[in-house]
Amino acid sequence: MKNVLICNRGEIALRAIKACKDLGHRSFCIVNDNEKSSLVAKECDKAISFSDSINPFTSIDIIEKLIAQYQIDALYPGYGFLSEDPRLSQLCKNMGITFIGPNPNVLNSLSSKRESINFAKSCQFNVLKIDDVKMSDFPIMLKAALGGGGRGNSIVTNSDDYNQCLDELKKRSQSLFLNDDIIIEKYLPNARHIELQFFSTDKKVHFLGTRDCSLQKSYQKFMEEGPGNDIFNTYLESKFKYIEKSLLKLGYIGAGTIEFLWDIDSQQAYFLEVNTRIQVEHTVTEELFEVDLVKAQIRYALDAKLCFKNLKSDGHSISCRIYAVDSRQGFTPDPGPIHCLNLDKHMRWDTYIGKSGNVPHQYDPLIGKLVVHGTDRGEAIQKAIKCLRELNIHGVRTNKEFLLSVLTDEVFQTDKHTVSWTESSFLEKWRSSCEDKELDESELEHIWKTIDSSPEVENGKSSFNGQDYFYSICGNTLWIERLSDGVIYIGPVAASFWTESFAKNDTPYNSPITGKAVDVLVKVGDSVNKGDKLVVLEAMKTLVEIYAETSGMVKVLNISKDGLIQRGEVIIGIE
């Protein structure tokens, strides 16, 4: 039995906990105080808690102390945080414990986009990298060399904006990744984003098919599927011998992904990067090949055993990321307590939250992943729609309505979308349709009459005019969800509300998010003009600025710098 420190949180931490239990190892998990009620804290053998003001997952010093204090034998990094940072792998090596992932030399060679170009060339891949920018190269993509998750990307459409965009990205990259190295690539808007999953041992590289990750917003994936394009898969198979040779030469051990852009116009594949870790969307591959990649990572690292037999892809799989964001309000983060999580027990739902829980304000807003499998793509899409409709999360707003709209869109269903489709075409169409989807008075009144007859019920289902609804009650707040499209209404339970008016009573200064005030620019008694910036809030690395709706004097101020505020609470009062 080994002591395994799981240096991550959320659904991937829970997957690692379950893998450790199955393999007979003890799991030690890092949790913040606002996640003490999560399944991660409950299921692990030892939960090590930290204040919400501390991010222990990115602190080498904290991790080093925990390894020594708890006699850790191995460290599982998951994805994000320090999972691809050579310093973490080097720390494990220096302390004589197992890092469940590649060694520091491999990470140094592949985790930087600039350094990984050498790997691409050894595999005979085409690359998009531009050394000397010319007028004919535009549009181009600027990328932080050590960036990840799209946060270090910027598209430049013409030469006039080049220098300014480059300077801004350098500053952002230095702030986010402590490095301002920028690489320049040709931008391909009419392309698909496809990635190859592999698992490398000391003697052999196992190839586990491809995934299509073309559905992205702000370079962030929100839905993945597999397998990828048949033509691309055929191209990739011709490169397997070069990939295997290169990975074995590097001494790569464990799971990894190679990402590509498939240019539809030229029918050519271009190398993007290597992800030297498990990916969020690895669940698609697990469904296609009936394997447990997380367990395979831990088992091979600690026991040098691999349970892959007769690997063969079957059918089609789709993974939907469910985020705590308000998609109708610019996808702003919406952290906070979840009072009701209802789902069909037969669906695959990878999460860290039980029937209720909390989405912390300081981390990525991913609540969980809904994963389906079908005999073909059409069946998988229909299963995803059905399961999404049956998944109800109340307490925080989510992107479920948005995902359902994507899944039912003709462009997606006919497999004609590209990496730029969501933002260049779909988003505008979806936003313009939102107003027509609001729940009307008759629907709301029907639900209230249903709960009024059974006041002790906290949640339930109801039908009206051919539509099905799921509702829940938390305190004095009623949540109603129309299952066909995921549209949600939130309002008071009080009977007097229904007999008076359906008008909303929100003020312009109710907090749109649960988060921290990173800047308060006014004080009580100050005079402000319409349009003045008043407060800057932050949640999940997203800044939300509050501006004066009218001119007047600040009469009430309910927040101070670095203070926390809940969604819906009044921030400021101006008269």
CATH number of the domain bearing residue 41? 3.40.50.20
Q: Provide the token pair at 564.
A: 């926390």
Regarding whether 88 and 210 lie in a shared domain, the answer is no
Average pLDDT (361-368) is 95
Per-residue pLDDT for 443 more than 70? yes
Please state, in angstroms and rounded to a whole number, the distance separating the CA atoms of residues 156 and 140. Answer: 5
pLDDT for residue 181 is more than 70: yes
For 511-523, what is the mean pLDDT? Answer: 86
**Burial (0-12, 13-18, 19+ Cβ within 10 Å), 163:** exposed
What DSSP letter does each residue of 427-475 carry, written as one string? HHHHHHHHGGGS--HHHHHHHHHHHHT-TT-SEEEEEETTEEEEEEEET
> For 270-370, where are the alpha helices, taking DSSP H only?
282-289, 293-303
* pLDDT digits 0-9 by tens, 484-506: 999 999 887 754 444 443 334 44
Q: Residues 477, 567: one domain?
A: no
Cα end-to-end span (Å), the chain: 65
Residue 480 has pLDDT above 80, yes or no: yes
Of 434, 455, 485, the position where a domain reaches its end is 434
pTM given for the model: 0.86
Omega cis (within 30) before 227? yes
H or E element, residue 248: helix 240-250
CA distance readout (Å), 188 to 193, 246, 516, 531: 10, 27, 38, 38
| Predicted confidence band of residue 85 (pLDDT cuts 50, 70, 90) | very high
Q: Does the pLDDT at position 186 exceed 60?
A: yes
Per-residue pLDDT tens digits for 218-232: 889 999 999 999 999
Active-site pick, 277, 328, 397, 567 = 277
- At CA 449, angle to CA 444 and CA 453, rounded to 5? 150
- Order across the sheet with 140-144: list the strands: 153-156, 140-144, 182-186
Residues 307-359 pLDDT 10s: 788 899 999 999 999 999 999 999 999 999 999 999 988 899 999 999 999 99
The answer to whether residue 277 is catalytic is yes
Structural domain includes residue 490: yes
* Cα 156 from Cα 187, distance rounded (Å): 9
Structure tokens, 321: 């990321």
One-letter amino acid of 113: K
Whether pLDDT at 89 is above 50? yes
Which 3 state secondary structure label does DSSP give 292?
A: coil
Which regions of 310-458 does DSSP assign to beta strands (E)? 316-323, 325-326, 332-333, 336-338, 340-342, 348-351, 357-359, 366-374, 392-394
Q: How far apart are CA 368 and CA 150, in angstroms?
A: 20
**What is the residue range of 287's domain?**
191-434
Cα Rg for the chain, rounded, in angstroms? 25
Domain count, the chain: 5
Average pLDDT over residues 85-107: 97
The SS3 assignment for 196 reads strand
Whether 111 maps to a domain, the answer reads no
- pLDDT above 70 for 559: yes
| Residue 440 or 403, more confident | 403
State residue 501's pLDDT score: 38
Q: Is the pLDDT of residue 516 over 90?
A: no
Residue 565 has pLDDT above 50, yes or no: yes
Tens digits of per-residue pLDDT, 377-396? 999 999 999 999 999 999 99
Nearest to 195 by CA among 223, 233, 231, 222: 233
Answer yes or no: do 200 and 339 share one domain: yes
Task: Indicate if 178 and 196 belong to the same structural domain.
Answer: no
Same domain, 391 and 479: no
Whether residue 235 lies inside any domain: the answer is: yes
Whole-number average pLDDT of the chain: 91
Rounded Cα gap, residues 178 and 337, in angstroms: 33
